[in-house]
Amino acid sequence: MSENHYLDEFLTFLRVERGLADNTINSYRYDLEQYVSFLSAQKLKLFQATQNVILSFLNQQRLLNKSARTRSRMLAALRGLYRYLLQEGLVTTDPTENLTSPKLEKNLPRVLSVQEVEKLLSQPNSGTLIGLRDKAMLELLYATGMRVSEMLGLDTEHLNLELGFVRCMGKGSRERIIPIGEIAQNYLREYLSRCWLKLRKSTGERALFLNKNGRRLTRQGFWKILKAYAKKAGIQSEITPHVLRHSFATHLLENGADLRAVQEMLGHADITTTQIYTHLSKRKMREVYEKSHPRA
């Protein structure tokens, strides 16, 4: 059987048995295809790879200026693949067993100040159909800290505006309930009553956020919308959809929110992932101290 056959079987296993998100599956597919191309150039098969072969592949990626984070993800994909092949009895040893991931730089995520968030959220013209949709989206994203893929995957029935919460599906098909603030609730009500039916072209469409063609808005579509509003708001630094998620978490912790509650709202499986935001709030505290204390 071809190498691609084993890759397809492994990726199907990850999707069906492990419940990994499509974005993760696509990243793993890309990484593993790079690896198979490397093996082919060396005239090697998956089953012939040794630890040195994998180290050579990762070193090649480093020479191609791939970041430590990308190389770490590649190694994770290879680890998963060889463990799967071992489990299926297709290999007798795991060549990734004693390999360690490249050391990652601990870059703190970019976060908007409260004032920058206010500027950004004030940009859409809620007097128009598209402007009101954009306003509802941005308010919901900042109110809940959802990932953009989670927000764009919402259907109308996932909202409960009477009780003020949204039900979303996160990584690994884990469902969670997140409260929605009153301001976001109000804009969502207005969007649903004034715009949603006008944007929807098909009676079978259930997506909450629709594009001009009446179909579910895409990540690329949202990215363009966000960049345009950030530019209009005069935000100079690079902004991504994840920046609002980072800002949501940091602003909650700065105002005394419990770390476990923030972890639950963000949908982090491990609290150590959430703890990076405590570093951000401590940095902010230090800045305030140094600016304000007479002997700082």
Q: Rounded CA gap, 267 and 167, in Å?
A: 12
Catalytically annotated residue among 15, 119, 268, 279: 268
Catalytically annotated residue among 6, 84, 142, 277: 277
Contact (Cβ atoms closer than 8 angstroms) between residue 121 and residue 142: yes
Please work out, in degrees rounded to the nearest 5, the angle formed at the alpha carbon of residue 184 by the alpha carbons of 262 and 163.
75
Around Cβ 6, how many Cβ atoms within 10 Å? 20
Around Cβ 82, how many Cβ atoms within 10 Å? 22
Catalytically annotated residue among 71, 135, 245, 246: 245
What are the Cα distances from residue 117, in Å, to 122, 142, 242, 255? 9, 8, 13, 16
- Annotation marks residue 242 as catalytic: yes
- Annotation marks residue 200 as catalytic: no
* DSSP codes joined into one string, 46-97: GGG--HHHHHHHHHHHHHTT--HHHHHHHHHHHHHHHHHHHHTTS-SS-TTT
- Annotation marks residue 43 as catalytic: no
Contact (Cβ atoms closer than 8 angstroms) between residue 140 and residue 188: yes
- Annotation marks residue 15 as catalytic: no
Around Cβ 151, how many Cβ atoms within 10 Å? 23
Catalytically annotated residue among 66, 147, 158, 251: 147
> Which element (helix H / strand E) includes 10?
helix 3-16
Catalytically annotated residue among 171, 176, 227, 279: 171
Catalytically annotated residue among 69, 206, 242, 286: 242
Where in the sequence numbering do the catalytic residues fall?
147, 171, 242, 245, 268, 277
